[in-house]
Amino acid sequence: MSKKSASILSFIVIPLFILSIIISRKALIYISGYYPECLFHKFTGLLCPACGNTRAVTAILKLRFVEAASYNITPLIAIIICTALYIELCMYAMGKRVIIIPRNNYFLGGVLAFMCIYYILRNVVLFI
């Protein structure tokens, strides 16, 4: 990616996208109440990896991060990783090369293993 396109992306496109989310925050919270319930959870009683994501995003939009983590940590982890990547992109656009998120299989495998363990444990803990 060229520095010019990184600059456009980091200083115009992404801030406008975030601003549009902030502006439409109340509408997003409103429509989240109309999403269908999870069929996997309905028939099995277990939480699938996506269970709680809508409630977590709604809580994030209300700036209730602890409440969001209690529903599902996936959106919070995605926000943390995206923020780190955004910082890397901004630094690249300003001419500095910064690596916050490691680009190797150990990091990716660690994140995936953590998420898999989390998805399993949150079902086990709920049934104790």
DSSP of 41-90: HHHH-PPPTTTTHHHHHHHHHTT-HHHHHHH-SHHHHHHHHHHHHHHHHH
Exactly one of 51, 56, 68, 76 binds Zn ion (CB under 5 A); that residue is 51
> Which tokens in the block code for residue 122?
């949150």
Cβ nearer to Zn ion, comparing 9 with 119 = 119
Cβ nearer to Zn ion, comparing 24 with 44 = 44
Contact stretch for Zn ion (CB under 5 A) within 2-10, 26-34, 36-44, 115-123: 36-44
CB of 78 to Zn ion, least distance (A): 17
Instruction: Please check whether residue 34 is in contact with residue 46, taking contact to mean a CB–CB distance below 8 angstroms.
Output: no
Task: Tell me which residues touch Zn ion (CB under 5 A).
Answer: 38, 40-41, 48, 50-51
